[in-house]
Amino acid sequence: MNWKLSVRGLSWGGSRLLAGVAVCALLTGIGPLSGWSAEQLVVYSGRGEKFTKPVVKAFSAATGVEVQTLVSNAGQLLARIQVEGARTPADVFMSNYAGTLDRARRLGLLQPYASPMLKHIPERYVGPQRTWFGASARARAIVYNTDIFSKPPVRSMLELAEPRWRGKLGITVSTNGSFVGGLATMIGQHGEKRVRAFLEGIKANAGDNVFPKHTPIVSAVARGEIALGLVNHYYYYRAIAKNGRAPLGIIFPDQDGAGAPTTISGLAILKHAKHLDAARKFVDFVLSPRGQRLFAEVNYEIPVSRDVKAHRLLPPRDSIRLAPVGQGLKVESIDLAIELIRTVGMQ
């Protein structure tokens, strides 16, 4: 049995998190997931099912552990975990953005685990006191239509705010975790003033071209409906893997030498995990070479393990300049990113 609930809504701190708590207070009326045994595992996943399912399926096949998942918005799942407290059936919390995991850590909702797989993982991808673990890295990138441009039209993310892109740019809704995480990184790179100007610029340039997810942005660029779009890098590679003749190009923005804003997905064991052995096995599997290859092969993400190469379609790691992931995890940068989004009135 795989129990799944998808919920859309607000996902970030302050009043948005409180809104999520209110929503999840209602959700708990559905009742806890039931029917668990020592051989089962409950995962609350803030990653889409298409990302979660291959890992869960491979883990179950390798270990015999039955996994049941609750798939929803990561911020709402965090709020639900808070509301459920010690009653939560969840053992593992997965998120598309490690900033959400670190917020859970600061709320005292996680427990540490010294996984033997950590010897393969750089420290920058591991949370304080080993409370959460990066699963994959994702660069914020720019896709463009190669029928419109014979060469990359920009080098820096900041150029997307220039008036010449009015009506030609596509972006996601501002509650998207990668949008917020990338913005937090940019604050570390460029400071509040320049990032606010950036937000004002891309809001004006995107206009109505604000999409709920990244995939429709890539599709709109390929059709020539918009000239370029701001996405996570792997959406481009997924598109060209399906259609190698699509008129698409990708830019890993150098950011004036500071590197492309980079976020990481990850997972953590919850403080009140009922199936602790299974939860630890799941973390070990995700961080193992086999688990890491799944992220690389299935979704073109960049493995966090030193021992696993990125997908062959991606440029070599040393040819891509990535910003330090820690910049996008600083609580002050995350909160400031959220505040700037509100200030400029983005969707």
pLDDT at 36 over 80: no
CATH number assigned to the domain covering 137-261+330-344: 3.40.190.10
Please state, in angstroms and as integers, the Cα–Cα distance from residue 28 to each residue in 7, 21, 47, 81, 120, following that order: 13, 10, 20, 10, 38
Percent of the chain scoring above 70 in pLDDT: 88
Q: What is the dihedral of CA 300, 303, 308, 312, to 10 degrees?
A: 20
Q: What is the phi/psi pair of residue 285, to 5°?
A: -65, -45
CA distance 320 to 76: 33
Mean pLDDT to the nearest integer, 5-32: 38
Mean pLDDT to the nearest integer, 263-274: 96
Question: What is residue 223's predicted lDDT score, i.e. its pLDDT?
Answer: 97
Q: What is the CA radius of gyration of the chain?
A: 19
- Mean pLDDT for all residues in the chain: 87
* pTM of this structure: 0.82
pLDDT at 256 over 80: no
Asked if residue 139 lies in contact with residue 322, where contact means CB atoms within 8 angstroms, the answer is yes
Mean pLDDT to the nearest integer, 30-58: 76
Sort 209 into a burial class: Cβ within 10 Å, 0-12 / 13-18 / 19+.
Answer: middle
Asked if the domains at 15-136+264-311 and 137-261+330-344 fall in one CATH topology, the answer is yes
Question: What is residue 217's predicted lDDT score, i.e. its pLDDT?
Answer: 98
Question: What is residue 325's predicted lDDT score, i.e. its pLDDT?
Answer: 80
pLDDT tens across 123-133, in order?
999 999 999 99
First CA to last CA distance, the chain: 36
Q: What is the dihedral of CA 306, 307, 312, 315, to 10 degrees?
A: 20
Q: Domain limits of the chain?
A: 15-136+264-311, 137-261+330-344
CA distance 20 to 17: 5
Report the candidate in 85, 104, 86, 84 with the shortest Cα–Cα distance to residue 94: 104
CA distance 40 to 277: 10
pLDDT at 33 over 60: no
pLDDT category at 177 given cuts 50, 70, 90 is confident
CA angle 262, 336, 338 (to 5 degrees): 80
Q: Supply the angle between the helices 177-190 and 192-206 in degrees, to the nearest 10.
A: 140
Asked if residue 139 lies in contact with residue 260, where contact means CB atoms within 8 angstroms, the answer is yes
* Arch. (CATH architecture) of 15-136+264-311: 3-Layer(aba) Sandwich (3.40)
Question: What is residue 255's predicted lDDT score, i.e. its pLDDT?
Answer: 67
Mean pLDDT to the nearest integer, 3-23: 38
pLDDT at 143 over 90: yes
Percent of the chain scoring above 90 in pLDDT: 71
Question: What is residue 328's predicted lDDT score, i.e. its pLDDT?
Answer: 77
